[in-house]
Amino acid sequence: MSSFVWCHGPSCHKSHTQDRIRGVKGSKVLRTKKVQANNWGDNFNMYSYFCSQGCYNDFANTHINSIIAIAPRLEPLETPINVTKEQVQYRWRDGTYTNTRITTVDNDVG
């Protein structure tokens, strides 16, 4: 026995694919796809509720204001970094170029 959820994509049932066709001749429909609950084990993610990236995007774009309200970003986040410049020798010809190296600062020390 398999359990499933219906894809949450608002337009899933409008995609013209053969695997969405249901019904008998004369009364056929395109139906929202099933998403098998065991597709991704216990590791729930977007594919636990959506049949495709496209359906996920459709849902997110349709409900974007509600989604942002879950965790609004009112201030920017920052990652402390060190920036160093180094001259690196080309491998295929003479000369050097400047390489910018960005490393994150580990704030957990001390």
Taking the C-alpha atoms of residue 29 and residue 88, their distance in angstroms, rounded to an integer, is: 62
- Which residue in the set 51, 56, 58, 59 belongs to the binding site for Zn ion (CB under 5 A)? 51
Is residue 7 close enough to count as binding Zn ion by CB under 5 A? Answer: yes
Is residue 35 close enough to count as binding Zn ion by CB under 5 A? Answer: no
The interface region with Zn ion, picked from 23-31, 32-40, 86-94, 100-108 by CB under 5 A, is: 32-40
* Exposed / middle / buried, residue 9 (Cβ in 10 Å: 0-12, 13-18, 19+): buried
Taking the C-alpha atoms of residue 64 and residue 68, their distance in angstroms, rounded to an integer, is: 6
The interface region with Zn ion, picked from 18-26, 36-44, 47-55, 65-73 by CB under 5 A, is: 47-55
Residues in contact with Zn ion by CB under 5 A are 7, 9, 12, 33, 51, 55
